Amino acid sequence: MSAPSENMPIAVTAPRAKPLLLRHLPYFVGAVILVTLTATLRVDGYIHNILMQATTFAIAVFGLSVVLGLCGQINLAQAAFFGFGAYAVGIGTSDYHISYWLCLAAGCVMALLAGALLGISTLRLGGHYLAMVTISFQQIVTLIMINTIWLTHGPDGVSNIGRPALFQSPQSYLAFCVATLALVGYFVWHLPDMKLGRAMRAVRDNELAAGVSGIDVFRTKVYAFALCAALGGLAGGLFAGGFAYVSPDQFSFAESIVFLTMSLLGGVASPIGSAIGTGLLILIPEWLRFLKSVPGLYLAIYGLFVILIIRYMPDGIWGFVSAALDRWRSHAEPVAVSAPLRLMPATVGGDTVLEVTGLSKYFGGLKAVDAVDIAVKRGSVHALIGPNGSGKTTTLNVLSGLYKATAGRILLDGTDITNLPPHLRTAAGLGRTFQNIRLFRSMTALENVEIGAERPGNTLIGEGGDNALTARAMEALTFVGLGPRANELISSFSYGHQRLIEIARALAANPTLLLLDEPAAGLNSSEKLELHELLKRIAAQGLTILIIDHDMTLVSEAAQHITVLNFGRRIADGESMAVLRHPDVVSAYLGTE
């Protein structure tokens, strides 16, 4: 661990100087050129159809890149959502002569609502459930498309689908679709750097850590899922207008697998990958048309592709290429100055920051925590100790909301947080670290800490703009001595440094109370000394700390007040030295003679 250099100016990524739209100007220039080309260049009908298909499919695959790539949730019903949009435009314009735009919007909204409902019913559960439920949903939608003949015309499909008056000619309609693709692509490309996108990445990397960093995990997943479905609906609506005919087999489970394969092949993490995958999987089958003569052969090869990509190229083609590009790109970063970290813990209640009364947690018949009282004084360092299995970590997990209390009450700064979910406790001012480190592994140290800084209720980031977040995160990283390495990925840090990053993530949030779960576990002796030093500097700023640890030296030196647990019950509580000499404590640790 390097010596902390809290007040020294450090080189970091400069706050983004140019306005965002200006920096992204080349993208829009490229998009305009592309749209102009499609609108003016004459192509034959065959090529036109391929382009039409590729454009609309790519939008649907962008949806998968959001849900699977960014948020780590699976959706095996994208073709069904695609079908929502396609049938809305198809039935609406052809049977009921409703305006194309209205139908397109209705299709998107229907897909969005279906996606949200599906997500709400399933996303609290694990990924297996989601996979199976989306497959089931896909089958149901296909059943409905085939069997509700009065509405969907059944297996015959819907023909004579209309287009908007503005884009009547096939070529202008294609140009319109390409323009939509460019806009959606811009949004999806930019999403990872927006608040919602960051939350999605955090959820993908580590759900528990995301929750205690103040992210509503469930809502983030539902948003990702609904967004994916809406993009599917949009793509389907455009598709229906482009081909003027839709039938149920175009929206079957097989098509969902095609979308998934496109997404995986190109690289699920980026819209560029989605576009590559879509393009390839539309072109390759055209080159290998002979495969289509044997039913099944074609999809069998897709299945094989999926297995091989997952095994040998998990990040897809674009992931592979961009990793290679990254190695060539120089990593020189512009200089910026970071201010010293300010901690301004909120002071709403009285002298007691945390008041726990009669807290119990039973697992079946096991009383892991049994009627425990803890009162943590404002500005103090309070330690919770006890032998292995005494219920310390369980207590911490109940405090931070990962477990639901069986009985008892938890007051944080006068607010009752007993029944709040983890992210709302964080919003109320709780910060914590984990015994087994939980960082967002695919992100840099800076991004990890930025997610902490983004805590709802953090008063020190102003409006929460990108610059304020980066500045706050840099301050926290500098405070723990890792400022110069802010832009490195988590995997390049040692265990001890990862622990510091976790502490920085909690500090950046400017919590009212910091819970540290065995921060000294796994550290060597010099790292422990530095940790002790760091705790002193945190406490000096008036932040209240509740620490769990085995290291008696650390506990007795750092903490003014100690609560001792044994077999889930409080056996001693009071001023440090008195508690450590307490006969019950001595016998709990050393055994009785």
Partner 1 sequence: MNNPQFLLPNAVMDLVLQLLFTGIGIGAVYALVALGFVLIFRATNVVNFAQGEFSMVAAYLMVVFAVDLGWPYWLSFLLSLAGMALLGAIFNLGVYYPLRHRSFLPVIIATIGASILLANSVLAIYGPQPQVLEGWFETPGIQLGPVYLDSQYLLIIAVTIVMVAFNYWFFEHTMLGKKLQATSQDKEMASLLGISVSTMIMITFIYSAVLGGLAGILVAPVLFVSIQMGSTIALKAFAATIIGGFGDVAGAIIGGLALGIIETFGAAYISVPYKDGFAFLVLVLFLVFRPQGIFGERVAEKA
Under the binding rule (CB under 8 A), the answer on residue 132 touching partner 1 is yes
Q: Is the Cβ of residue 482 or residue 548 nearer to partner 1 in the bound state?
A: 548
Q: Is the Cβ of residue 435 or residue 560 nearer to partner 1 in the bound state?
A: 435
Q: How many residues does the chain have?
A: 593
What residues contact residue 66 under an 8 Å CB cut-off, 6+ apart?
A: 188, 191, 200, 224, 227, 228, 231
Tokens of 536: 């002193």
Q: Is the Cβ of residue 490 or residue 588 nearer to partner 1 in the bound state?
A: 490
Cα–Cα distance between 445 and 365 in angstroms, integer? 42
Under the binding rule (CB under 8 A), the answer on residue 403 touching partner 1 is yes
Tokens of 302: 């897709």
Name the percent of the chain in helix, strand, coil, to the closest 5: 60, 10, 30
Among the listed residues 265, 233, 203, the one whose alpha carbon sits nearest the alpha carbon of residue 65: 265
Tokens of 100: 């194309």
Under the binding rule (CB under 8 A), the answer on residue 365 touching partner 1 is no
Under the binding rule (CB under 8 A), the answer on residue 304 touching partner 1 is yes
Among 129, 166, 169, 542, binds partner 1 (CB under 8 A): 129
Tokens of 328: 């060539």
Q: Is the Cβ of residue 393 or residue 458 nearer to partner 1 in the bound state?
A: 393
| CA angle, 212 then 419 then 223, to 5° | 55
Among 135, 244, 411, 424, binds partner 1 (CB under 8 A): 135
Cα–Cα distance between 418 and 410 in angstroms, integer? 5
What residues contact residue 313 under an 8 Å CB cut-off, 6+ apart?
A: 319, 320
Under the binding rule (CB under 8 A), the answer on residue 517 touching partner 1 is yes
Among 97, 311, 327, 331, binds partner 1 (CB under 8 A): 311
* Helix-helix angle 170-190:217-243, to 10 degrees: 170
Among 7, 147, 160, 169, binds partner 1 (CB under 8 A): 147
Under the binding rule (CB under 8 A), the answer on residue 72 touching partner 1 is yes
Under the binding rule (CB under 8 A), the answer on residue 498 touching partner 1 is no
Q: CB–CB of 35/357 below 8 Å?
A: no
Q: CB–CB of 449/473 below 8 Å?
A: yes
String of contacts with partner 1 for each residue 193-232, x by CB under 8 A: --------------xx------------------------
Cα–Cα distance between 46 and 101 in angstroms, integer? 27
Phi, psi of 474 (to 5 degrees): -65, -40
Under the binding rule (CB under 8 A), the answer on residue 426 touching partner 1 is no
Under the binding rule (CB under 8 A), the answer on residue 289 touching partner 1 is no
How far lies 52's CA from each of 3, 56, 500, in Å? Answer: 59, 6, 51
Min dist. Cβ of residue 115 to partner 1 (A): 14
Instruction: For residue 329, list its beta bridge partners.
Output: none
Tokens of 361: 């947690």
Under the binding rule (CB under 8 A), the answer on residue 591 touching partner 1 is no
Among 257, 356, 369, 580, binds partner 1 (CB under 8 A): 257
Min dist. Cβ of residue 421 to partner 1 (A): 13
Q: Is the Cβ of residue 368 or residue 562 nearer to partner 1 in the bound state?
A: 368
Under the binding rule (CB under 8 A), the answer on residue 407 touching partner 1 is no
Sign of CA dihedral 301, 304, 310, 314: negative
Q: Is the Cβ of residue 22 or residue 307 nearer to partner 1 in the bound state?
A: 307
Among 62, 176, 434, 440, binds partner 1 (CB under 8 A): 434
Under the binding rule (CB under 8 A), the answer on residue 143 touching partner 1 is yes
Under the binding rule (CB under 8 A), the answer on residue 375 touching partner 1 is no
Under the binding rule (CB under 8 A), the answer on residue 303 touching partner 1 is yes
477-488 CB burial, b ≥16 within 10 A, e <16: bbbbbbbbbbee
Under the binding rule (CB under 8 A), the answer on residue 8 touching partner 1 is no
Q: Is the Cβ of residue 469 or residue 515 nearer to partner 1 in the bound state?
A: 515
String of contacts with partner 1 for each residue 314-353, x by CB under 8 A: x---------------------------------------
Min dist. Cβ of residue 483 to partner 1 (A): 28
How far lies 143's CA from each of 146, 154, 251, 585, in Å? Answer: 5, 9, 11, 67
Min dist. Cβ of residue 106 to partner 1 (A): 24
Phi, psi of 385 (to 5 degrees): -125, 175
Under the binding rule (CB under 8 A), the answer on residue 139 touching partner 1 is yes
Q: CB–CB of 506/465 below 8 Å?
A: no
Among 14, 140, 366, 578, binds partner 1 (CB under 8 A): 140
Only segment of 155-163, 183-191, 390-398, 452-460 that touches partner 1 (CB under 8 A): 390-398
Only segment of 383-391, 397-405, 408-416, 538-546 that touches partner 1 (CB under 8 A): 397-405
Cα–Cα distance between 565 and 385 in angstroms, integer? 6
What residues contact residue 88 under an 8 Å CB cut-off, 6+ apart?
A: 103, 104, 106, 107, 110, 233, 236, 237
Min dist. Cβ of residue 87 to partner 1 (A): 18
Q: Is the Cβ of residue 352 or residue 397 nearer to partner 1 in the bound state?
A: 397
Min dist. Cβ of residue 264 to partner 1 (A): 7
Under the binding rule (CB under 8 A), the answer on residue 294 touching partner 1 is yes
For the chain, the maximum distance between any two Cα atoms, rounded to a whole number of angstroms, is 95
Interface contacts to partner 1, rule CB under 8 A: 72, 74, 76, 121-122, 124-129, 131-133, 135-137, 139-140, 143, 147, 207-208, 253-254, 257, 260, 264, 294-300, 302-307, 310-311, 314, 393, 396-397, 400, 402-403, 434-435, 438, 517
